[in-house]
Amino acid sequence: MSDLPLPPGSTLGVLGGGQLGRMISQAASRLGFDVVILDPEADSPAGRVSAAQIVAGYDDPDALTRLGRLCDVVTFEFENVPAASIERLAEAGALVAPGPTALRVAQDRVDEKTFLNAVGATTVDFAVVDTLSDLDEAVAVIGLPALLKTRREGYDGKGQVWIRDAAETAAAFEAISGRPAILEAAAAFTRELSVIAARDRDGAVAVYPLGENRHANGVLKITLAPAEVSAAGQARAHEIAEAILDGLDYVGVLGVELFELADGTLLVNEIAPRVHNTGHWTQDGCVCDQFEQHVRAVVGWPLGPTAAHARVEMTNLLGDEVEAWRDLASDPAVRLHLYGKAEARPGRKMAHVNRVLGSA
């Protein structure tokens, strides 16, 4: 096991070769680290900008052992990493950050909400649903409308169904294939916000200004940051992020999705134990962006500054929207971040642009 802080020239492993892994890799290489990606898809967006890629499944024991031996520290770009994979990496001698607790909590919506409420990060009311009769009981307690979500493996609005009438419960349960689920009360939010925060190996916490997020068809489209939020709102978001990071004994960057209610109350929707799409604005709004911050935390360096020097509008380019690069390339107010994906499938995240709106 290596001594911390890891010096430049050390090797960072990343599970996942998508755009988040790519931007982690780019930030790590700027600090002098070599990066090895593990991803089942050859020639992944992250693999193409890294020292090497191991092409294998995230649960392939031999590949994990190889990665663990090659790397001083291993991190991940998505939260559905099998717990056994983390153990295998640790056995092969790599440090892993964030640790298994954060993964376990974030992989299950019931465990996640239970944890959040326990550390004072309030969520909507919820009930556990294993059977149709649980669902009927939950509807009676929570009220309608309510949102039925699978406990595991839902993202970007997938595995979710609104229930507006008690007669719809059977169809809703069927729509999620009767999988273990959670019924959530509808949050009467006025805005969706998020906060990106980091915790280092000594427990120091750094929090970025809040972002305001707009979705289209369940997928993030725009983040405006720093969001216009009162000092009290920013302070509350900071408190929430810190409670979560401390509660998980977390190392790395974490995204917290929030609902803002009409009276300014912040409820936590969910957490992502990784760099987050709503933090991409930091690349052009902050001296130390979320990717560098994540690398700093996991290699045992001190955290970088989180103050914004610019107001930024981040827009995701999905599918063939990426063709706009031609026009955007000549726009002096935007910075283009293209992910190097060959195939622009509909809805696929291909790129984002950060439009600098002015100084913060």
Which residues lie near ligand AMP (CB under 6 A)? 124, 147, 154-155, 157, 184, 186-187, 192, 215, 218, 257, 269-270
Q: How far is the CB of 331 from ligand AMP (least distance, A)?
A: 28
Q: How far is the CB of 274 from ligand AMP (least distance, A)?
A: 14
Tokens representing 30 are 């700027």
Judge contact between 51 and 319, C-beta under 8 A.
no
C-beta neighbour count of 53 within 10 angstroms: 21
Judge contact between 285 and 312, C-beta under 8 A.
yes
Local structure of 330: helix, strand or coil: coil
Q: Which of 223, 220, 171 shows the shortest CA–CA distance to 195?
A: 223
Write out 294-324 in H/E/C secondary structure: HHHHHCCCCCCCCCECEEEEEEEEEHHHHHH
Give the C-alpha separation, 192 to 249, whole Å: 26
Tell me whether strands 73-76 and 11-15 are parallel, antiparallel or unpaired. parallel
Instruction: Give the alpha-carbon dihedral of 119, 120, 126, 129, to 10 degrees.
Output: 10
Q: How far is the CB of 154 from ligand AMP (least distance, A)?
A: 6
Q: Which of 96, 4, 88, 77 shows the shortest CA–CA distance to 37?
A: 77
Q: Side by side, which strands form the sheet with 34-39?
A: 52-55, 34-39, 11-15, 73-76, 95-96
Tell me whether strands 34-39 and 52-55 are parallel, antiparallel or unpaired. parallel
C-beta neighbour count of 321 within 10 angstroms: 14
Instruction: Give the alpha-carbon dihedral of 317, 322, 328, 330, to 10 degrees.
Output: 160
Of 184 and 260, the one with the shorter C-beta distance to ligand AMP is 184
